[in-house]
Structure 1
Amino acid sequence: METETLAAVSEVDFSLMALFLRATLTVKIVMAILVISSIWSWAVVIQKHMNFRSARNEVADFEELFWSGQPLDEVYDELEDDPRGGTERIFMSGMREWRRSQRTSGKMIAGAQARIDRAMNVAISREQDELTEGLGVLATIGAISPFVGLFGTVWGIKYAFEEIAIQQSTNLAVVAPGIAEALLATALGLLAAIPAVIFYNKLSANADSITARYEGFADEFSVILSRQLEAAEG
């Protein structure tokens, strides 16, 4: 009897595609959602990696230009039509407010420093929002995918027990395929969730690092403008 059971089990196809095709419609939908979620999360990871690499290169290139000794007005005029990255846009916002605060007599309108700082802070906030855009998708996938997979598993096991009741047999050949199909949903949930959580933490740290560089540049630029303001007032 045991030999016959093992022979029956060995004839069952346990490949991933076979498990998917044998699953109930509900479990198939769950699996499809998890596969799509996994692909979506990897697309976000790749896109953010490319964006962050571009942002870091832009910061390095602009800081080299900024500290090259070229007059800031000339740098502003060069970049006015097409600022390429976050640091350039922050610089442009500060310089734009600087120019708007100048009177025709050459004197500065009162409160110029505070307005310049606020303008750059707003620009930094926009850049930070752009850096973190899409990370919420990773957080959501990482948080809910295991539960979605667990739902598929519970539903699949429910169906397996129904088959046991219908066939009135606890034979391994009856039970094993249904349990395997159900557990596949949990595996797919973990497969989607684990990379999403790992890369969410990594990319969030990268975004914070780039934002810190933006803030550092803004502080240095603010100090330079502050000296020029004091010289103009003096």
Structure 2
Amino acid sequence: MTVIELLAATAGNAIADAPTRLDPIELFADADIVVQLVIAGLLIASIWVWAIIIGFTLRMRNLRRSSSTFEDEFWSNEDVDPLLDKRRRKDSPSARVAAAGINEFRRSHKAGIRDADAARARVAQMMDGQVAHESDVLASRLNFLATVGSVAPFVGLFGTVWGIMNSFFQIGLQQNSSLAVVAPGIAEALFATAVGLFAAIPAVIAYNRLSGTVNAFEARLARFADRVHAQVSRDMERV
């Protein structure tokens, strides 16, 4: 066998043994330690993102259900005191909004209502403040999604830059600029960017979607507060 034939056979064996598709686990295992840390951190962030998405979706479903139940009972019962106990206020944002307005009305009535307009304004302020508080509590749970959506691509890019720098270092170390030397390191480096996008894209989509859900729920609470305020105003006219 000639030297040329030997080289051709070796090249053929190398091509036959070469992987036919990308293996993320192998890319992670062969990557530099810094790139591995970046990828591991992004994967943890991605898991956390999905946990928030699932948990928040289930929580909003429960809040809408409990608020609907409370509002139906609130408008169908003349005696609302049993509906405003601690357990109901804990389970339902609508109960907390109604309790804020009714408690303010009762404090004003106990002290003697001298200025009905001022009393109505205080009731409205208490309920508006409670609506804003409920919205802020829900929205604060989405801050991590916004953070991951904006930061994860840059963290992945940092891993990519580091991996490419390491590839160029290997070129200088081995005095060989062939694609076989450079390609594995670049592939591992680009994998970090891919993982960054894998974490960021769901986070951005979920943040926009769930923020809209929070805004819609806040508007619903505001409408309920307006109806309660109207009822309280009618009660003040009868005092």
User: TM-score scaled by structure 2?
Assistant: 0.88
Q: How does 1:184-203 map to 2 (within 5 A)?
A: 184-203=191-210
8 Å CA contact 2:98–2:225 kept in 1: the answer is yes
Query: How far did residue 12 of structure 1 move?
Result: 5.6
Corresponding residue number in structure 2 for 1:21: 29
Structure 1: state its 5+ residue gaps: none
8 Å CA contact 1:5–1:173 kept in 2: the answer is no
Q: For 1:173-209, what per-residue CA distance to the aligned partner results, in whole angstroms no more than 9, with x for missing partners?
A: 2222111100100100000000000000000000000
Q: For 1:138-170, what per-residue CA distance to the aligned partner results, in whole angstroms no more than 9, with x for missing partners?
A: 011000111111111111011111111211223
Query: How far did residue 172 of structure 1 move?
Result: 2.9
Aligned length: 227
8 Å CA contact 1:157–1:182 kept in 2: the answer is yes
The share of aligned pairs that are identical, in percent, is: 41
8 Å CA contact 1:94–1:120 kept in 2: the answer is yes
The range that moved more, 42-51 or 109-118, is: 109-118
The range that moved more, 135-144 or 111-120, is: 111-120
8 Å CA contact 1:87–1:214 kept in 2: the answer is yes
Cα RMSD for the two superposed structures: 1.9
Separation of aligned partners in 2, 1:181 and 1:2: 28
Corresponding residue number in structure 2 for 1:61: 69
Query: How far did residue 5 of structure 1 move?
Result: 5.3
Query: How far did residue 91 of structure 1 move?
Result: 0.6
- The secondary structure found in structure 1 opposite 2:110 is coil
Structure 2: state its 5+ residue gaps: 1-6
User: TM-score scaled by structure 1?
Assistant: 0.90
Q: Relative to structure 1, is the Cα distance of residues 96 and 63 closer, same or farther in structure 2, using a 3 angstrom cutoff?
A: same
Separation of aligned partners in 1, 2:16 and 2:163: 21
Query: How far did residue 81 of structure 1 move?
Result: 2.8
Q: For 1:77-114, what per-residue CA distance to the aligned partner results, in whole angstroms no more than 9, with x for missing partners?
A: 3422322210010011111111111137xx53432211
Separation of aligned partners in 1, 2:167 and 2:51: 35
Q: Relative to structure 1, is the Cα distance of residues 166 and 103 closer, same or farther in structure 2, using a 3 angstrom cutoff?
A: closer
8 Å CA contact 1:24–1:156 kept in 2: the answer is yes
